[in-house]
Amino acid sequence: MNPQPGSFPAAGHDHHACVRSALRGAERLCAEQGLRLTAIRRRVLELIWQSHRPSGAYEILEQLAGEGHRPSPPTVYRALEFLLAHGLVHRISSRNAFVGCSRPGQGHMAQIFICDRCSVAVELADGTLNRRIRRNADDLHFHIREQTVEIAGLCPACAGRANEG
Amino acid sequence: MNPQPGSFPAAGHDHHACVRSALRGAERLCAEQGLRLTAIRRRVLELIWQSHRPSGAYEILEQLAGEGHRPSPPTVYRALEFLLAHGLVHRISSRNAFVGCSRPGQGHMAQIFICDRCSVAVELADGTLNRRIRRNADDLHFHIREQTVEIAGLCPACAGRANEG
DNA sequence: AATGAAATGTTATCCTGTAACACACTTGGA
DNA sequence: TCCAAGTGTGTTACAGGATAACATTTCATT
Ligand SMILES: [Zn+2]
Ligand SMILES: [Zn+2]
Ligand SMILES: [Zn+2]
Ligand SMILES: [Zn+2]
């Protein structure tokens, strides 16, 4: 089952499918737009997709280091810059971290829900919400370039266990 | 004229009034809730309010240093922590900076518009938007603790000058 | 004064992100 | 084939943001 955008991933979902789907999506998008999904970029995207939790740049760096690459920060940040620029990942400002985008290539006005306990992040694209934001901006005569909507709290699974550990 | 929440501050507005109003509001809020608005906390709040642009923690630190205090980072961060905890300032995640809250003590589900060019930030409290977010959270069975809504772009004044320098 | 809690000082260190410059690889044309 | 020009990567060094851990002071209350 693919990552169902708009719901928290089920406990035992086939996550390999998430990764495969994300990589295939990236390949397709790059092919269509004449972009170069180089080895590093591909590998960084793959690492980010290893879970639904946002990854820090230095986490990615460490994982790459464990594979012989030993890249330096700029290398990783450049790959992230590319992935961000083409909508393949989202940056989570409130955590200084990056998460794979569930719907690449469809414009990116996402709101992202992040669990305080398990860190799983899920994105939602809500036209109504986006229109409301745009309308508020219009009232202020403000020209939107980019928006950040991040909601922190407890995912359903963790809310259930709220009183445990 | 006080800081009109919900609009960009006019070019020649009486900003001293903004500062006075913010400080008085903080004093009142602290008095009501039995909180201690110590010298540092008060001074940090005052420095943050010196403009409508979000200030970085280290900017504040430098300004304090120029006054003889020479505090260290934790001192400033603690003051900020206090001000955040009681809704006197907002943290702008997308900029690692802090801005004074225009309506302290009224719950804080603000969306904040920030100009890319002049950095002025304006907050808006939109019940409709907040309800929409809450509704999306409910659909996901997600329990909201905190939300971050930051919109970057051009304020009316800067949009007008878009083609100049 | 004595006590305990809250606030501040101090030091050292992490974590995040970028500037600047060198090198390599691709691509297209002379 | 050789030569740009453009893009991507390697490397070094550093800037900027935030916190851990512990010592000390301040404050309200007894
Ligand atoms: Zn998955
Ligand atoms: Zn969770
Ligand atoms: Zn003002
Ligand atoms: Zn502006």
State how far the Cα of A32 lies from the Cα of A26, in Å rounded to an integer: 10
Domain membership of residue A6 (yes or no) is no
The answer, yes or no, to whether residue A45 has pLDDT greater than 60, is yes
Domain membership of residue B2 (yes or no) is no
Domain membership of residue A100 (yes or no) is yes
What is the mean predicted confidence (pLDDT) over A2-30?
Answer: 88
Using pLDDT thresholds of 50, 70 and 90, give the confidence band for residue B1.
very low
State how far the Cα of B107 lies from the Cα of B161, in Å rounded to an integer: 35
Domain membership of residue A3 (yes or no) is no
Query: Does residue B108 or residue A63 have the better pLDDT?
Result: A63
Minimal C-alpha gap between B66 and chain A (Å): 30
DSSP state of A94: G
The answer, yes or no, to whether residue A2 has pLDDT greater than 50, is no
State how far the Cα of A121 lies from the Cα of A113, in Å rounded to an integer: 5
Domain membership of residue A4 (yes or no) is no
Q: Which two tokens stand for residue B24?
A: 């008085």
Q: Which two tokens stand for residue A80?
A: 């992230």
Consecutive H or E run containing B150: strand B143-154
N residues, chain A: 165
| B77 C-beta less than 7 Å away from strand D | yes
Domain membership of residue B91 (yes or no) is yes
State how far the Cα of A163 lies from the Cα of A116, in Å rounded to an integer: 14
What is the mean predicted confidence (pLDDT) over A12-28?
Answer: 96
Average pLDDT value for chain A = 92
Do residues B37 and B83 touch, judged by C-beta distance below 8 A? no
Three-class SS state of B154: strand
List the Cα angle B91/B149/B1 in 5-degree steps: 70
The answer for residues whose C-beta is within 8 angstroms of residue B63's C-beta and 6 or more apart is B47
Residues A37-46 as b or e (16 or more Cβ within 10 Å = b): beebbbbbbb
Cα A96 to chain centroid, rounded: 12
Per-residue pLDDT tens for A139-150?
Answer: 999 999 999 999
| B56 C-beta less than 7 Å away from strand D | yes
The answer, yes or no, to whether residue A107 has pLDDT greater than 80, is no
Query: Does residue A104 or residue B113 have the better pLDDT?
Result: B113
Q: Which residues touch strand C (CB under 7 A)?
A: A 56-59, 72-74, 77, 96-97; B 35-36, 38-41, 69-75, 78-79, 82
To the nearest whole percent, how much of chain A has pLDDT over 70?
95
What is the mean predicted confidence (pLDDT) over A45-49?
Answer: 97
Taking contacts as CB-CB distances below 8 angstroms, the residues of chain A near B118 are none
Domain that holds residue B130: 15-164
In this prediction, residue A6 carries a pLDDT of 76
Compute, in angstroms, the gap from residue B16 CA to the centroid of ligand 3: 7
Three-class SS state of B139: helix
Task: Give the CATH number, domain containing residue A105.
Answer: 1.10.10.10
DSSP A104-157: TTS----EEEEETTT--EEEE--HHHHHHHHHHHHHHT-EEEEEEEEEEEE-HH
Our count of domains for chain B comes to 1
Stretch 21-80 of chain B: residues touching chain A, C-beta under 8 Å: none
Average pLDDT value for chain B = 93
Q: What share of chain A is helix, strand, coil (3-state, %, to 5)?
A: 45, 20, 40
To the nearest whole percent, how much of chain A has pLDDT over 90?
85
Distances (CA, A) of B34 to B26, B27, B30, B31, B37: 12, 10, 6, 5, 9
Per-residue pLDDT tens for B66-106?
Answer: 888 899 999 999 999 999 999 999 999 999 999 999 999 77
Domain membership of residue A7 (yes or no) is no
Domain membership of residue A9 (yes or no) is no
Q: Mutation test of the interface with chain A: which of B122, B149, B158, B161, choosing the one with the most A Cβ atoms within 10 A? A: B149
| A72 C-beta less than 7 Å away from strand D | yes
In this prediction, residue B163 carries a pLDDT of 60
State how far the Cα of A161 lies from the Cα of A117, in Å rounded to an integer: 10
